[in-house]
Homo-oligomer: A and B are copies of this chain.
Amino acid sequence: MNLHAQWITGFVDGEGCFSVSIVKNEKTKYQVMPEFIITQHERDIQILYGLKSYFQCGIVKKNGPNSNCYVFVIRDYKLLSSRIIPFFEIHKLKTKKRIDFEKFRYVVNFMMEKKHLSLTGIEELQIFLKKWRSSKRKVEYKDQE
């Protein structure tokens, strides 16, 4: 399946997700996990393989044991930095998802500079993510009014 760059941008504007979480592992060390993910029903799994082939990275896997959905996901921040971020810098998202992308890019660049390896860096990121989530919640809260 040959995918056009603009088709990918439009599809990601509809279906893509840029997110970041910070998890604490057993050794009480913090791990920053950026994630670019696209979910599709199994009937469209070929789209996910098409994206994997286009970006030459990422994996396609079932979205949970009882799910009929599959995900295409990239979590490696070096690959996100070298393949995903330059793509969306050239082929700009048209929806407000662009704001998520810009915040996501900030975190990936932060990691590329190894700033996430210090506790100060983690604290800085936690504040950044809190603000990001809060700005998203404001939209959701407004939806419930």
Q: Of the 9-residue stretches A4-12, A27-35, A115-123, which lies at the interface with chain B?
A: A4-12
Chain B contacts for A47, CB-based, 8 A:
13, 94-95
Min CB distance, A50 to chain B, in Å?
A: 7
Chain B contacts for A9, CB-based, 8 A:
7, 10
B68 contacts A143, CB within 8 Å?
yes
CA distance A4 to B92 in the complex (A): 11
A96 contacts B43, CB within 8 Å?
yes
Chain A contact residues: over half helix, strand or loop, or mixed? Answer: helix
B1 contacts A4, CB within 8 Å?
no
Instruction: Determine the residue in chain B with the shortest Cβ distance to A15.
Output: B14
In the complex, whether A44 has a CB less than 8 A from a CB of chain B is: yes
In the complex, whether A127 has a CB less than 8 A from a CB of chain B is: no
Instruction: Determine the residue in chain B with the shortest Cβ distance to A67.
Output: B143
- Between A and B, 21 residue pairs with Cβ closer than 8 Å are A3-B94, A4-B10, A5-B6, A6-B7, A6-B10, A7-B9, A7-B10, A7-B13, A7-B94, A8-B10, A9-B10, A10-B13, A11-B14, A13-B47, A14-B14, A15-B15, A40-B95, A43-B96, A47-B94, A47-B95, A68-B143
Instruction: Determine the residue in chain B with the shortest Cβ distance to A5.
Output: B6
A94 contacts B50, CB within 8 Å?
yes
